Copies of this chain bind each other. A is one copy, B any other.
Amino acid sequence: MTDRVYNFSAGPAVLPVPVLEEAQKNLLSLPGVGMSVLESSHRSPHFTEIIETAEANLRNLLNVPDNYSLLFLQGGASLQFSMIAINFLGGTEKPADYILTGSWGKKAIKEAKREGTVNVAWDGADGNYNRVPEASELKLSDDAAYVHFTSNETIQGVEFPVEPSVGDTPLVCDSSSDILSRPIDIAKYDLLYAGAQKNMGPSGVTFVAISDRMLGKAPEQMHALLDYNLMAENKSLYNTPPTFGVYLVMLVTKWLIEEIGGLEQMSVINKQKASMLYDAIDESGGFYKGHAQLKSRSNMNVTWTLETPELEKEFLDEAKKQGLCELKGHRSVGGIRASIYNAMPVEGVTKLRDFMATFKESH
């Protein structure tokens, strides 16, 4: 334990220590089962209990009504970029509206364009993706197949404080980097998806919540692994799911319920952590420059720059010596990025905040 660093990686990211400890304890044999979950058939009674518990925990945390299916898929958010377009844009003459607030939205659009017409309802390029749009700025189509947005752009550190209003058009959201960080009203979404490797578990599991209404719009004939209906009918067990990943999602959601007390409480802690870092930036007199505009600041990924790349390198090197790791900004934008997902303890953020102050003093 003592050799663990504070890991600010954007994903795969830090996991709760109690989750890792439970997984470690049972890695050679689940209690009473005599084999590891890694070795267990996805159709065994004990894995059935695991996947059903994971789903039940997610229904509980996200307050999901019965007319939504919850799926555990593979391929990451990147495969969802394609699956969504193949299923819901491919066979229609309608356009799909994409609200573009950063790098992941761009990737989603790239795949969608292979299948049909994409209307970019807003593009944050002018401000170098430092904010989300006002409602009045959105140029939504009258007849869009769906509206897609990225609730939190991991690379830029830009987060929608609340989902955009899109009327009756199906709302589709890439929530990879802020799912389970705060309560949401899932009834506003027809399809919500998230790679697990930030707030839910390890990489290799992709969570999808999809409404019956949206399932009804999917084509009847579809490649099995791209077929939402087939996955829903088989409760994610059409083929072998990433079983160990689902097990960790079960443990992480259990931790959220039992240790944290739910998403309201998690949200309070997350805001507190983010405020510490944004305050350090704002009170630095320009020594640290935040990337995101005030109202669009992410509570998950705090991004900032220093005066020069050399100074940033020095910041990163000194931070690492103090056990503050993986703070380098994404290679596409540079600077510093502190990813402070659910599992990042307050102590880690406090230590980073204090380091920021000391570093500034000494430079």
Contact = CB atoms under 8 A, between A and B. Distances in A.
Interface string A167-178: 000000000000
User: Which of A10, A13, A14, A226 has the largest number of chain B CB atoms within 10 A?
Assistant: A226
Nearest to A206: B74
User: Which of A12, A114, A225 has the largest number of chain B CB atoms within 10 A?
Assistant: A12
Given A223-B82, A242-B204, A15 B36 contact: yes
A195 interface: yes
A244 to B, nearest CB: 5
A195 B197 CA distance: 21
Q: What's the number of copies of this chain in the assembled complex?
A: 2
A114 B230 CA distance: 16
Nearest to A7: B35
Contacts of A325: 34-35
Given A28-B24, A204-B244, A9 B225 contact: no
A14 B28 contact: no
Interface stretch (A37-45, A123-131, A183-191, A209-217): A37-45
A226 B82 contact: yes
A90 to B, nearest CB: 11
A95 interface: no
B12 A29 contact: no
Interface stretch (A143-151, A233-241, A350-358): A233-241
A38 B17 contact: no
Given A7-B35, A81-B224, A82-B226, A44 B74 contact: no
A318 interface: no
A81 B4 CA distance: 42
A345 interface: no
Nearest 9 pairs between A and B by C-beta?
A: A204-B242, A5-B34, A74-B74, A24-B27, A82-B223, A78-B239, A79-B225, A204-B204, A203-B240
Interface of A: 1, 3-5, 7, 9-15, 17, 20-21, 23-24, 27-29, 33-36, 38-42, 44, 74-79, 81-82, 86, 107, 110-111, 114, 195, 197, 202-205, 221, 223-226, 238-245, 248, 323, 325-326
